[in-house]
Amino acid sequence: MNPILLSIILIPAVEIFLLIKIGSQIGAVTTILLIFTTAIVGVYYAKYEGLNTLKSGFEQIRKKKAPTYEMLSGAAIAFAALLLIIPGFATDIIGFFIIFPVSRKFLLEKIFVKFKNKKDETEKNNFIEGDFEDIEEEDDKKI
């Protein structure tokens, strides 16, 4: 089954399950307040981390280096902010995991290694093996 379709079905089901379980333990009003609190705190922390990443990116540009990590980090922070806005506890946990610098760096390093290995494999297979033979002009006319 397509992973995107599976996640579209599975994520809301997990969120509803968690909302029902947590809501039955701490109450409906407290659950709703907790959802709003995590969204507000998460978005403000995403803004803070985004500005830090932007500063770091400008610092890399000033040093005449490509801000590759900072661009990926900024995209990850934007995705984390989206996850924090979506109501639910599972998306909030994933969003906070992505938004914290230590865990985000760990996650991005894993992605870098994965893509670097793919790049190395394609570079290894980016040639054609064969033999060649020099031919003279006279031989060329015979062909």
Answer for the pair 14, 90: CB distance below 8 angstroms, yes or no: yes
Answer for the pair 77, 50: CB distance below 8 angstroms, yes or no: yes
- Residue 81 has a pLDDT of 93
- pTM, to two decimals: 0.74
User: pLDDT confidence of 139, banded at 50, 70, 90?
Assistant: low
Q: What residues have CB less than 8 Å from 95, skipping those under 6 apart?
A: 42, 80, 81, 82, 83, 84
Q: How many CB atoms lie within 10 A of CB 104?
A: 19
By CB neighbour count within 10 A (0-12 exposed, 13-18 middle, 19+ buried), where does 136 fall? exposed
Q: For residue range 32-75, what is the model confidence (pLDDT) as tens digits?
A: 999 999 999 999 999 999 999 999 999 999 999 999 889 999 99
Which among 50, 70, 45 is positioned nearest to 58, based on CA atoms? 70
Consecutive H or E run containing 23 = helix 3-26
Residue spans of the domains in the chain: they are 15-122
User: Worst-scoring range by mean pLDDT, 14-23, 66-75, 100-109, 110-119?
Assistant: 110-119
113 or 139: which leads in pLDDT: 113
